[in-house]
Amino acid sequence: MLELSISELRVIVLMEARAKPRLRNVDGLWRKPVLGRRGATPRPGSITEFIRERGLLPPAEIDHIIETAPTELIAFQAAQAVLPLEERTPLGHWLENFNRAATALVQ
């Protein structure tokens, strides 16, 4: 986790934020917290919280992604869904714009 790039960390925060409204039995991509028993390393169930606790992304950036990016992604996906397959913009383009905007926000 510690060797991931800033853009990869952002995508993790985005994925967890996008999934959060539908999560019932897990906290995030790590499912449930590990308490550190039997030699396990303690960690939260949410990778976003791990990123926040370790300072891998600024807290304001994490909060901004959680507040804005999921609805923007949903709108992008909805707009693409009505287009014929050959006319759709690849998700990678949206992610490039997402990272460009996030970088500008931090600078």
What SS3 state is found at 103? helix
Check residue 62 and give its pLDDT.
94
pTM for this prediction = 0.76
Angle of helix 47-54 versus helix 6-19 axis, rounded to 10: 140
pLDDT digits (tens, 9 = 90+) for 52-72: 999 999 999 999 999 998 888
The share of the chain scoring above pLDDT 70, in percent, equals 89
18 HSE (CA, 13 A, CB side): 15
Q: What is the C-alpha to C-alpha distance for residues 27 and 7, in angstroms, rounded to an integer? A: 22
CA distances from 60 to 38, 55, 65, 66, 87 (A): 35, 11, 9, 10, 35
Tell me the pLDDT of the chain (107 aa) as tens digits: 678 999 999 999 998 898 887 777 777 777 666 666 677 676 677 889 999 999 999 999 999 999 998 888 889 999 999 999 999 999 999 999 888 888 887 76
Helix, strand, coil abundance in the chain, percent, nearest 5: 65, 0, 35
